[in-house]
Amino acid sequence: MNRIWRIWKTTTFRQSGFFVLLFVLFSVFILGYIAYQTSILIQQQQIGAIDRELGQLNRTYQRSGTPGLIRGVQRMADRPGPGIYYVADPTGQQLAGNVDQIPTFVLQTPGIHSFRYEVEEPWSAEQNDNDDERRERDKREERPDRGLALVKSFQLPSGFYLVVGRDIEERRGFSAIIFEAFGWGVLWIIILSVLLGTLLARNILRRLDMISAASKKIMTGDLAERLPLTKRNDEYDRVSKNLNEMLDRIENLMAGLKEVTDNVAHDLKTPLTRLRNKVERALQHDDDPEQMRKALQATIDESDQLIRTFNALLLIARVEAGAPDGSFEPVAIDQIIEDIVDLYQPVAEDSGIELSTDLATVPHVKAGRELIGQAIVNLVENAIKYAKGAKGTPRIEIGLEQHAEHIRICVSDNGTGIPEKDRQRVLERFVRLEASRSETGSGLGLSLVSAVARLHKGTLEIKDNDPGTKVLITLPKES
């Protein structure tokens, strides 16, 4: 009962019922109008036939007088068909016709009338049957003995009465057949519509129950659960597919958040412990100002590194949250690269590294200048750090290429390189290939570069430079 009530409350079932009701009302109006117009048309045809026969009898009366009229009426009365004919003298005594009695008001009031009458020989009977056979057939068929007549009555100049008409029982039967068929049709339409609406609502409820069950599992914490899909690729599948993609993204973010939390706890515990130890040693040598000054300077350096780590985390979070509308503007990527090269050229020279550029002329790109600049700075700092291990002269090259639908920023070095198995992993937060973690850095640089590339609808690729590493940022021109 509860499921039936749920089906009844579904929008699909109620809409089906609403459209069925509209269809039934419209069908009633259309079929009623057709039946009415058909009845009117048949009546007009019958009146037209009556008028023609009256005209024919009138011409006979003009030529042959009353005897000829009586003979003409009798000939018409003897023909099979639905015709009704009656001639009576001024006293109302029947002289010819196929009806025994005509109501007095029909004779006394000329015009169009309808009335019930006793049927002597139904016009639909086979005229060649004899009387005994006809009586037997009437008993078997149990036909009604009263007909419905539509007639025109006249009183002739001689005082005689003339009545000509048609039996309209057939017309009423035809209308009854139309409405009976219509009634059955409407009944079956309602039954089938209710069944189809119920089946449709039941199928929809089944799909929604499956989605609801999967959603409940997800809400309990099972982020690996996904909404069910079928092979029909209907609107429910499309919605479920989009929601599953959203759940994939949420699961990845939650996994990243867990990993970040673990990494933050691991990576910040060591510097905080060192910071505490240095402060503790400084307190132990409070009589040595030089020792205390060195301890405080080391504390400041550790604090600056912690601040840089938190700033990088906040910047990544801001980038992954998406840029606000209107924050991007057309920027010259080549100019940004030249400014960065001017800034890091002295640093590279001090480290014995050759820093060069190969910049093509590219159109302005709609982007965040600070974000693009920070991404390139991170790549240059990584290249400087790892180019020091190059065999021979360390070299770093920053390139800018133009393609049909995108531009490409390339930062390459000839250092130790990144193993192919680690090229995807280094894009995660706090991942550092240096196992000892003695080098400065937080493992957030490439994570920020990847987030900036995604924000600008671009991609980040790490390739082998043979030797060294080549990092490519591809940005669409319309970004």
Burial class (CB in 10 A: 0-12, 13-18, 19+), 314: exposed
Whether the full predicted model's pTM is greater than 0.85, yes or no, is no
Question: Would you call 468 helix, strand, or coil by DSSP?
Answer: coil
Does the pLDDT of residue 121 top 80, yes or no?
no
Q: What are phi and psi of 464, to 5 degrees?
A: -80, 130
Element (H, E) at 230: none
Does the pLDDT of residue 220 top 80, yes or no?
yes
Name the band, by pLDDT with cuts 50, 70 and 90, for residue 13.
Answer: low
Burial class (CB in 10 A: 0-12, 13-18, 19+), 197: buried
Torsion of CA 257, 262, 267, 273, to 10 degrees: 130
Report the alpha-carbon distance of residue 28 to residue 51 in Å, rounded.
34
Element (H, E) at 123: none
pLDDT per residue as tens digits for the range 427-453: 877 676 654 444 556 677 888 888 889
Residue environment code for 148-182, b if the CB has 16+ CB neighbours within 10 A, otherwise e: ebbbbbeebeeebbbbbbbbbbbbeeeeeebeeeb
Cα 430–Cα 381–Cα 321 angle in degrees, nearest 5: 50
pLDDT per residue as tens digits for the range 126-170: 444 455 555 555 544 444 456 788 888 888 888 888 999 988 877
Whether the bond between 467 and the residue before it is cis, its omega within 30 degrees of 0, is yes
Could you say which DSSP state residue 314 is in?
H
pLDDT at 115: 86
Report the alpha-carbon distance of residue 55 to residue 90 in Å, rounded.
21
Residue environment code for 419-439, b if the CB has 16+ CB neighbours within 10 A, otherwise e: eeeebeebbbbbbbeeeeeee
pLDDT at 129: 44
Question: Would you call 236 helix, strand, or coil by DSSP?
Answer: helix
**Average pLDDT of the chain, as a whole number:** 79
Question: Would you call 323 helix, strand, or coil by DSSP?
Answer: coil
Percent residues over pLDDT 90 in the chain: 9
> What is the total residue count of the chain?
479
Name the band, by pLDDT with cuts 50, 70 and 90, for residue 106.
Answer: confident
Which CATH fold topology does 2-188 show?
Beta-Lactamase (3.30.450)
The bridge status of strand 354-359 relative to strand 395-402 is: parallel
Name, of 200-209, 243-252, 334-343, the range with top average pLDDT. 334-343
Q: What are phi and psi of 217, to 5 degrees?
A: -65, -40
pLDDT per residue as tens digits for the range 402-426: 988 899 999 999 888 888 888 888 8
Domain boundaries, the chain: 2-188, 253-297, 329-476
CATH number listed for the domain at residues 329-476:
3.30.565.10
Give the residue among 411, 392, 391 at the shortest CA–CA distance from 401. 411
Q: What are phi and psi of 392, to 5 degrees?
A: 95, -155
Question: Would you call 227 helix, strand, or coil by DSSP?
Answer: coil
CB atoms within 10 A of CB 93: 9
pLDDT at 407: 92
pLDDT per residue as tens digits for the range 361-401: 888 888 888 888 888 998 998 888 888 777 888 899 999 99
pLDDT at 187: 82
CB atoms within 10 A of CB 71: 14
Q: DSSP labels for 408-442?
A: EEEEEE-SS---GGGTTGGGSTT--S-TT--SS--
Report the alpha-carbon distance of residue 155 to residue 100 in Å, rounded.
18
Is residue 75 a contact partner of residue 56, using CB atoms and an 8 Å limit?
A: no
Cα 325–Cα 329–Cα 330 angle in degrees, nearest 5: 150
Place of tokens 């009465």: 161
Name the band, by pLDDT with cuts 50, 70 and 90, for residue 237.
Answer: confident
